[in-house]
Amino acid sequence: MKILVTGGAGFIGSNFVFYMMEKHPDYDIVVLDKLTYAGNLETLESVMKNPHFKFVKADIADRDAVFDLFEQEKFDVVVNFAAESHVDRSIEDPGLFLTTNILGTQVLMDACRKYGIGRYHQVSTDEVYGDLPLDRTDLFFTEETPIHTSSPYSASKASADLLVQAYHRTFGLPVTISRCSNNYGPYHFPEKLIPLIISRALADESLPVYGTGENVRDWLYVEDHCAAINRILEDGREGEVYNIGGHNERTNLQVVKTILKQLGKPESLITFVTDRAGHDLRYAIDPAKMMNELGWQPTTTFDEGIRRTVEWYLDNESWWKSIISGDYQNYYERMYAER
Ligand code: NAD
Ligand code: DAU
């Protein structure tokens, strides 16, 4: 079995590589990654020398590079994690999101059509469903919830999903799509809420909470997401969408306070800043299809996952400090200076 993992130098893609190499040590894994600001080759250091692993630096939207790779490698499965993934950046500059998230997906599927594939899996997001009201805790996203996007990021992910479904229906491409809720865990880039709060709290810096902090996200430990994708590759039905989530809803303020408590830092670090434009109120996944059809269950509770995550950031300061000392500083200034 030879698997192409695009975006494998990013947060979830790298965790997926580690998960699959442990679960299926005989599989060959090729990572294709453009190494954008969010891709970090250091993350993959522990597998670089494994004879079953190979890294290729390329852009999924570069048709020639992608087609050359498919011609050389003959993949059985493609799992597409590669994306511009940060909502705030998509509000600042949507263009690249359309190129990578939509056109890149098209290029990958065109290569699958030309060279043949057992399965093309699209890693999508619950953000394609828009948001749910804060006062209707009885409502959840199912696979039948209409697509209703809020940000350029989610619109680009939804567009890609529609294209994947079109390639299935029109060309018979054997596809599956997963839509997961917010992930957290090791190697999470420190521009996203949880690692941003951990790294800034450790430095006793102010902690920017958008709006009132009442927005709700449904958190899933990254390894549980990886296990779910593995189950979809094994037994998921072609053409189907699978929602992934573990019923771990928390307000942003609850998340920040939990982290502060674990670090022994004061809540006075919390600073309420101008809200994100178009900010989705609440995400909440109904994972019944994953559980009933594929027998998947999340194994890590939020309390346990956040404890492990904070510990990981304490033990791996050099990983995130080298990120923060680089380009990320300029980005932070641009994003927060006026807030
Ligand atoms: P990330 O930003 O941490 O990593 C993205 C990776 O893709 C990086 O390594 C980057 O270098 C690479 N990449 C970007 N553009 C590329 C291109 N044009 N060609 C090749 N590689 C490129 O993102 P993440 O949080 O790991 O998310 C991975 C996927 O999962 C994305 O598709 C995202 O939409 C989806 N997702 C994320 C979450 C979450 O909570 N983070 C939840 C659900 C779904
Ligand atoms: O739901 C899945 C999505 O989760 C993925 O598709 C995205 O790729 C991923 O980035 C994530 O999107 P969010 O916008 O939910 O994640 P983020 O970490 O940016 O923000 C989480 C919440 O915290 C959100 O309500 C905005 C808020 N927030 C975020 C930042 C960075 C703050 O209050 N302050 C901050 O500084």
270: CA distance to ligand 1 center in Å? 28
Q: Are 136 and 117 in contact (CB under 8 A)?
A: no
At 67, list the tokens. 């087609």
Q: Are 164 and 120 in contact (CB under 8 A)?
A: yes
Q: What is the pLDDT of residues 249-298, one digit of tens each?
A: 999 999 999 999 999 999 999 999 999 999 999 999 999 999 999 999 99
pLDDT at 71 (0 to 100): 98
**Does residue 332 register a pLDDT over 70?**
no
pLDDT at 325 (0 to 100): 84
Q: What is the pLDDT of residues 195-213, one digit of tens each?
A: 999 999 999 999 999 999 9
How many whole angstroms separate alpha carbon 204 and alpha carbon 186? Answer: 21
The 3-state DSSP class for residue 3 equals strand
- Give the number of other Cβ atoms within 10 Å of residue 42's Cβ: 14
Q: What is the pLDDT of residues 15-40, one digit of tens each?
A: 999 999 999 999 999 999 999 999 99
Question: What is the best residue among 15, 126, 198, 217 to mutate for testing ligand 2's pocket, by most ligand atoms within 8 Å of CB?
Answer: 217
**Does residue 331 register a pLDDT over 70?**
no
266: CA distance to ligand 1 center in Å? 32
**Does residue 326 register a pLDDT over 90?**
no
Q: Residue 119: beta bridge partners?
A: 77
Among all bound ligands, the one having the nearest atom to the CA of 205 is: 2
pLDDT at 327 (0 to 100): 58
**Does residue 328 register a pLDDT over 50?**
no
231-256 mean pLDDT = 98
pLDDT band for position 146 (cuts 50, 70, 90)? very high
